[in-house]
Each structure stands twice: as structure tokens, then as C-alpha cells.
Amino acid sequence: MAVIETKDLWKTYGRIEALKGVSLKVEKGQIYGLLGQNGAGKTTLIKILLGIVQLTHGEALLLSNPAGSIDVRRRVGYLPEDHAFPNYHTGYSLMDFYGSLYGVPATVRKQKIPETLEMVGIAGRMHSKIKTYSKGMKQRLGIAQALLHDPELIILDEPTDGVDPMGRREIRELMSMLKEKGHTIFLNSHLLGEVELICDRVAILQQGKLVREGTIADLTKTKGTYILGLLAGQTFPVEAVTQLGFPVRPMPDQPGHFEVTLPEGKTIEPVMKLLSEKGLTVIHIVEKKQSLEDVFMTTVEGAEPGVDRKPRRRGTARPVGGGD
């Protein structure tokens, strides 16, 4: 069952097109990462799913219901980017407030609030005013409030923002644990290393368009480039291989290793045959992979950051909006 499904989703702010026909599907139990530059439309997509922003055209379904409906929001936990919790609350009272809005009974709240805060590591400060919390603590509190009502889908917009490296690891572990329990997590993050570590699938948005989508393995695989290494003392026949029509370049950080790129429609077989005929022994052959960061950089290279909000009128202060 698709937990999130969008079909040809469009969002325009006046003349600005924030989303241009985005279609994606998130299955139950996945951790799904959404990547993109600032202004690519990531936050707009999340806000449409939650009914915070209204879609212009297309369809968005959450748990098989129209996105943003009140019933479906009851089954979703959400951590917004740049959240602003009221300073007059303590961690506990804020959880109690949001828990009440979700309809969690008082007895359950009393039991679950300390448990959830313990899970994110701030139970010791739950009766302190939020204004005394560090940014990382507020972030953990934000995650906790998204989990309190045990939602089927958890949408996290930059969950590790402001959190120290240890905290990030804890949050990653927490997400893995939630996944094991059957929760679906929709994650929006700039930290590509983290996304690569925990996400099952990833989508890349660029200026409102979905430009790449797939599993981490699929995205990071580089088709047509091989790294070859010969036995020590043997010389790689660069000219001969090049004459076959295969570009070759030495690997500067791996002496004795060469990168061979396959022309369109060809396999590595002719190169292997040539090396064999020349009596050379191949001790290393691997299809080159790239990091998610490489994929991302390659995908968005040269593109200008997008804008997903209406341009501000001169002199008007707008405290909200302007996310990714």
C-alpha cells in the first residue's frame, strides 16, 4: 500500500511554479528521502501533503486519503523545518498540548510523554521552560512531539538540523528503530551522508521537477565505468585500449589502476580480451560507484537554486514561508 502518492502535482504562486508535475510513491515501512537545493520545492511538497499549502493541480494521497484531510492528519506526525515552539511551555506541557490536539487521552499522555522524551534524550529537562533549551534539544523535542501519538507516517523536515554528531547518530538509530516497528518515514534533509545511510529510496527535486528517483543502490551505481588493476610490474596498454575506442585514464589516488569508460552500446569484453591476448593479468575489476553526494551534485550541477514562494513585495515583512 502506498503511504504517500502524488500524481502530476503542481503548485504555483502567481507566476512562480514551485512544483511541476511531481509524481512519486512511498510504500509502507520505507524511509524515503527527499533531496533538492534550496527552493527546489521540497517543503512545499511536504506542506501540500499535510494541508498547510493547497495544491494547484494534480493529486496527492496520504494513506489512501486526500492529503491534508483532518482524519489523515491524525495518523501523521510532522516536524517542520524552523519550528517555533511557544516559549511559555515546558517540554512536558508542550507535548501535553500537542497530544491533546491529536486526541491522545490524558492517561496515555501521562505515560507516553516521559517515555517519548526519554527516547529522544531530553526527559531530564522535560519540566524546564523551552526558552532554556538549546537548538539541539528543541530539535529532539520536535521529533518527540511528532512521535507521541504513534503515527503511521512520520514526516521530518531537516530533523538533524542543529544537532551535534552524536545526536545525529542517535536520531538515525531512532529512525531505524521506528522503521523496524513498521512506521513509514518521509525525510527531507540536506545531509546527504545521512540520507545515504538510512534511506531506502530517494527522490531529487530540481526547480520543482522530480529529476531522479530510486533506491540508493540504483542511484549511486555508475553504469559503463570500470576500475582495472594489473599484476604488479605489468604495464597497462593505454594506447591499444584507446585505439579500441575505450577512453582510459589513470587513477591518481590508486597507482597501477586505470579507469576505463565504455562507449555507448559496448561492454568491457573487448578490453578484457585484449589484455588477455597481451598476457596481462587483471587482479582488480570493479564497476565504479559514486556517493549520493556525487549523484546529487551531478544532477543539480549548473542549476540555479529555485524559488518556491511568491516574490516579496518591497517593504512587507513575512515571518512565514520561504522554505525549501
- In angstroms, give the least distance from the CB of 73 to another protein: 4
Is residue 314 a contact residue for another protein (CB under 8 A)? no
Of residues 217 and 320, the one with the C-beta less far from another protein: 320
Q: Should residue 102 be labelled a site residue for another protein when binding is judged by CB under 8 A?
A: yes
Pairwise CA distance, residues 163 & 169, whole Å: 10
Q: Is 50 in the site for another protein (CB under 8 A)?
A: yes
**CB of 199: closest distance to another protein in angstroms?**
22
Which region holds residue 217: left if phi is over 0, alpha if psi is between -120 and 50, else beta? alpha
- Return the half-sphere exposure (C-beta side, CA atoms, 13 A cut-off) of residue 200: 15
Alpha helices in 148-223 (DSSP H): 165-180, 192-198, 216-220
3-state secondary structure of 307: coil
Q: Which stretch binds another protein (CB under 8 A): 100-108, 172-180, 204-212, 278-286?
A: 100-108
Number of residues that bind another protein (CB under 8 A): 38
Write down the residue that cell numbers 515546558 correspond to: 90
Stretch of 19-27, 50-58, 119-127, 260-268 contacting another protein, by CB under 8 A: 50-58
The answer to whether 29 contacts another protein (rule: CB under 8 A) is no
Look up cell 511536504; give the residue. Answer: 46
Q: Which is nearer to another protein, 154 or 292 (CB)?
A: 154
Q: Which residues in 70-99 contact another protein (CB under 8 A)?
A: 70-71, 73-74, 76, 78, 80-89, 93, 97-98
Residue 62 to residue 48: CA distance in whole angstroms: 10
Nearer to another protein, 1 or 84 (CB): 84
Question: How are beta strands 57-62 and 2-13 bridged, if at all?
Answer: antiparallel
Strand order, beta sheet including 16-27: 16-27, 2-13, 57-62, 65-66
* Residues 116-145 within binding reach of another protein (CB under 8 A): 145
Site residues, another protein (CB under 8 A): 13, 47, 50-54, 70-71, 73-74, 76, 78, 80-89, 93, 97-98, 100-103, 145, 317-323
